[in-house]
Amino acid sequence: MPTIHPTAVVHDRAELADDVVVGPFCIVGEHVKIGSGTELRSHVVVEGHTTIGERNQIYQFTSIGQEPQDKKYKGEESYVQIGNENIIRESVTIQIGTEGGGLWTKIGDRNLFMTCSHVGHDSIIGDGCILANCVPLAGHVILEDFVILGGLSAVHQFVRIGSHSMAAAGSMVTMDVPPYCYAHGNHARLRGINSIGLTRRGFDQAQVREVRRCYQMVFRKGMRFEDAVARARAHFGDTPPDAVVPFLAFLEGESQRGVSPAGREG
């Protein structure tokens, strides 16, 4: 049986694995499903059609599955899906999707959401991401795997941020950030490759050099963005190095916000 503190309110039809822990003053709604080993520390509210996976740690005053902060939302049935082994710290908010965004807010595995971070409706987050303190994601944001967003940075709606990229503290990210890149500023500009992060993730020096070479080709001054991407694709041919494949695919993908411009590296 789950361990439920006497002060917690858990709906009879909520589905909790046998070893779930629900701490003091938590509220768990009717349509909630929580997997094995997950713990709600205290004062956590989980409502709506929310599914939470295994071995997640959810800290006090977090709110998951509430209605989105979107005036277009009309009460349609929509969902939150959270994977495994996430750490969700104090006062984090994660909201359900909307009909206009596909009805789902989705979070993968092993992410860290620091205090007061916010995941807006219809956002999709991969694995291994870190949102530092007070980082809000507006609706419809996509974070690929291993993205790091520094404290007090913010992400505009419909922005995509590619895998292994980083935005510095205080950045206002209003346009897409390709994989492997480092961005900062208000509004954020690309400042080169996140080489330290790539090395920490196990990329060897040859891979980092190939990624940097592709970056420099695409963001070369004096070229139209589309022409530069086509030039890089032609240079690497049909079989580019493995590390370059997601970079080019991201740049060639559909974007609603456009790709962030490059600024001075550093």
Of 76, 260, 246, nearest in space to 156 by CA = 260
Of 14, 19, 31, nearest in space to 78 by CA = 31
How far, in Å, CA of 160 to CA of 254, rounded?
A: 10
Of 96, 144, 143, nearest in space to 121 by CA = 96
Q: Cα dihedral angle (52, 58, 63, 64), rounded to 10 degrees?
A: -10
| Order of all β-strands in the sheet with 9-10 | 9-10, 27-28, 45-46, 63-66, 93-95, 118-119, 136-137, 154-155, 172-173
Which residues carry out catalysis? 121-122, 139
**Tokens 């070229």 belong to residue:** 223
CA dihedral sign, ordered 244, 249, 252, 254? negative
How far, in Å, CA of 227 to CA of 247, rounded?
A: 16
* 8 A C-beta contact, residue 128 and residue 110: yes
Is the bond preceding 235 in cis, omega lying within 30 degrees of 0? Answer: no
